[in-house]
Amino acid sequence: MALESTKAILEKAKREGYAVGAFNINNMETVIAVMDAATELNSPVIIEVTEGAIRYMGIKMASNMVKILSEDVTIPVALHLDHGKKWETILKAIESGFTSVMIDASDRPFEENVEMTQRVVEVAHNAGVSVEAELGRLTGLEDDISVADREAFLVDPEEAENFVTLTGIDFLAPAIGTSHGAFKFKGEPKLDFERLKQVKAKTHIPLVLHGASSVNDRLLGEAKRYGLELQGARGLSDDILKKAVDEGINKVNTDTDIRIAFTTGIRKVLLQKPSVFDPRKILGQARDFMKETVKERIKVLGSRDKG
Ligand code: PGH
Ligand code: CA
Ligand code: ZN
């Protein structure tokens, strides 16, 4: 099939009460792993690339790999620009056939974030491309966070309502206590679900959870067995993630889990089979591990058999 509209995929998820995984890719192995996992579970899927991934492999490679592979499957596949910060990258993504773009101006003052987002919405919507934007800062929620810090970092539900009305965005990423990477929480992992509920009540578009990797014990155990050092790494448990989906999250971004799985696969082969030097044997194992991880995520999000 041709690429599917990200908006159509996420509006359906919102109506039916599940979330769709948005998986970050950097190379061919990852694209294939994600597509195979989604196909096996008959799940819709969003493949996303950051500006860094575009610098690494080129936008043509990124967009064409996804388009070509999507032709051979029957599940809905969307292609998304993750954390777009540069105007030129956003335009390039729209020109290259991405089905949605994120404008991340969440580090700017509210008015500037609104202005930049409005500009992106105008060109994107003209091209039939949907837009995600972010409010608040992605910092892990600490046990001893002060009320002032909580208000400064996390999304303000009133602001969210105004932001959606002023900009006309299609999806909103509200900061509710997650952070990017493998070290999300110093104490007990927790999210501000009360805030999520309020944002949900005040906005009527699909909501996005960033920094959602599980960094779970299975991944960490295997990683450790083959020598990857990740002391103190911690992510979102399946229970927290399921609750977030129950409370209205419809798009869940995963990068870190895939990176850990990739690295672990490579380490395993190099460690166990020192005489192997065929890249296919090394990267093939990485691909298998990534596929397993993506399947785990899809099952937790509830998008299995929604393809
Ligand atoms: C993410 C990924 N990408 O935009 O939000 O977060 O680091 O938790 O995978 P993780
Ligand atoms: Ca941000
Ligand atoms: Zn993110």
Whether the predicted pLDDT of 256 surpasses 70? yes
Beta bridge partners of 171: 132
Q: Under DSSP, is residue 70 helix (H, G, I), strand (E, B) or coil?
A: helix
What's the pTM?
Answer: 0.97
Q: Candidates 254, 262, 290, 294: which one to mutate for ligand 1, based on the most atoms within 8 Å of Cβ?
A: 254
Atom of ligand 1 nearest to the CA of 138: 5
| One-letter amino acid of 143 | D
Both structure tokens of 240: 């927290």
Atom of ligand 1 nearest to the CA of 83: 4
Atom of ligand 1 nearest to the CA of 50: 4
Q: Is the CB of 234 under 6 A from ligand 1?
A: no
Which of 36, 82, 156, 170 is labelled catalytic? Answer: 82
- Reported as a single tens digit per residue, the pLDDT across 40-76 is 999 999 999 999 999 999 999 999 999 999 999 999 9
Q: Which of 136, 260, 146, 157 is nearest to 209 (CA)?
A: 136
Whether the predicted pLDDT of 148 surpasses 80? no
- Reported as a single tens digit per residue, the pLDDT across 112-132 is 999 999 999 999 999 999 999
pLDDT averaged over every residue in the chain: 96
Residue carrying the six token digits 């999806």: 171
Task: From residue 196, give the alpha-carbon distance in Å to each of 22, 139, 158, 172, 240.
Answer: 19, 15, 12, 11, 13
Strands 45-49 and 77-84: parallel
Whether the predicted pLDDT of 139 surpasses 80? no
Cα-based angle 177, 48, 27 (whole degrees, multiple of 5) = 120
Cα separation, 134 vs 161, whole angstroms: 13
Confidence of residue 143 (pLDDT cuts 50, 70, 90): low
Higher pLDDT, 4 or 140: 4
What class does CATH assign to 6-301?
alpha beta
- Reported as a single tens digit per residue, the pLDDT across 170-206 is 999 999 999 999 999 888 889 999 999 999 999 999 9
Q: Is the CB of 254 under 6 A from ligand 1?
A: yes
Confidence of residue 145 (pLDDT cuts 50, 70, 90): confident
Looking at residue 142, what is its pLDDT? 67
Q: Name the closest ligand to CA 175.
A: 2
Tell the residue nearest (CA) to atom 10 of ligand 1: 211
Cα-based angle 135, 141, 145 (whole degrees, multiple of 5) = 105
Q: Is the CB of 106 under 6 A from ligand 1?
A: no
Q: Residue 45: which residues within 8 A CB-CB, separation 6 or more?
A: 20, 21, 23, 34, 35, 37, 38, 75, 76, 77, 78, 298, 303
Looking at residue 21, what is its pLDDT? 98
Q: Domain ranges in the chain?
A: 6-301
